[in-house]
Amino acid sequence: MVNSFISVVGVVNHSQELKVLPDYLNNLFPVLSQHFSDYEIILVNNNFGIPVDPYIEPLPEELKHNIYLLNLSRVANPNHAILAGLDRANGDYTIILGLEFFQQPEWVLKLFEKTREHYDIVYLRASYREVGLRSRPLYKIFYYILKHYSTLQIDEKAHNTRIISRRALNSLLRLRENLRYMKAIYSIVGYRTTYLETDMPLHAGYSEAFSERFRTSLVAITSYTTFLRSLLLWIFIFSVIFLLGVIFNALKVKFTGIDLFGNIGEPFSGWTFLVILIAIFFATTCLNLYIMSIYLSNIYNEIKQRPLYIIESIKRF
């Protein structure tokens, strides 16, 4: 038995998950009680209109004694529901264990054993992602943007299931952002991180509609990447190239009667001036938008008040 206090956080996001909840808790009980000196199980009921209590009441008293049920007043974003459980975790280590692993409670021990190698965060990595043909290209675009327009180290095959040390969790809870994407938060916090391979595929939750996943993607892109600012920069660059091309074409038609594509054209009075004026205003508008995006991005980052750095440890010699 390990002399450690373990907190296990589980989130019930859909009524379908209630069917496996008793097995989830019963399978966890022997693993936690036999291998750890103390433990707690924090269940978050992401309110969907069905009470969770009847599924817990028939369980053994020694198990129920260590269960804490958090009933949310309304349906929340799954990332926020996870945060509700993390806020109330008191353990030396906290394990977020998805209900899809109800038949594999041994992952609790495997994750904990990996932390013995001085890792603060250990997550489960799927071998593949179950996703429909419609969503597959969107996932590829989403993770491409995260990889190339941010400094985040995000594993696109990472499960939510992971173990977090006390010091890493304390740092994570300092990031009180209203627009949360937990995988990005883990990356911002840092600390030594690794993963364990699992055969359990990644798939969308019962309650996650396509529109919900799309909104989460927009939150991640706008909150944790510089993609939109970079996009405005490229629009400005292309607008300048377009401006130069239009000016050259207008002047060529005026003086030679032939445009850039070799077509014969007859310039009308004031046509050249009007085309050049419109092109200049278009490029100027794009420049103003890009400058405004820089200021808005700076203001946005300041308002978030993310810590400038996180001290992992202090060593004295």
pLDDT at position 106 is 86
DSSP assignment string, 230-276: HHHHHHHHHHHHHHHHHHHHHHHHHHHSB-TTS-B--PPTTHHHHHH
Residue 18 and residue 93 in one domain: yes
Is the same domain home to 37 and 108? yes
Number of domains in the chain: 2
| Of the residues 204, 238, 263, the one at which a domain ends | 204
Residue 11 structural domain: 2-134+153-204
Residue 220 lies in a domain: no
pLDDT digit string (tens) for 223-249?
777 787 788 788 778 777 877 877 777
Same domain for 292 and 252? yes
Q: In the predicted model, is pLDDT for residue 311 greater than 60?
A: no
How much is the mean pLDDT over the chain? 78
Both 181 and 294 in a single domain? no
Tally DSSP H helices, then E strands, for the chain: 11, 7
| pLDDT of the residue at 164 | 92
Distance CA 217, CA 196 (A): 25
CB 72 within 8 A of CB 47: yes
**In this structure, are 188 and 233 located in the same domain?**
no
Does residue 180 sit in the same domain as residue 289? no
pLDDT digits (tens, 9 = 90+) for 135-182: 677 778 887 887 888 777 887 888 888 999 998 898 888 877 666 678
Residues 180 and 277 in one domain: no
Residue 143 lies in a domain: no
Residues 55 and 108 in one domain: yes
* 311 domain residue, yes or no: no
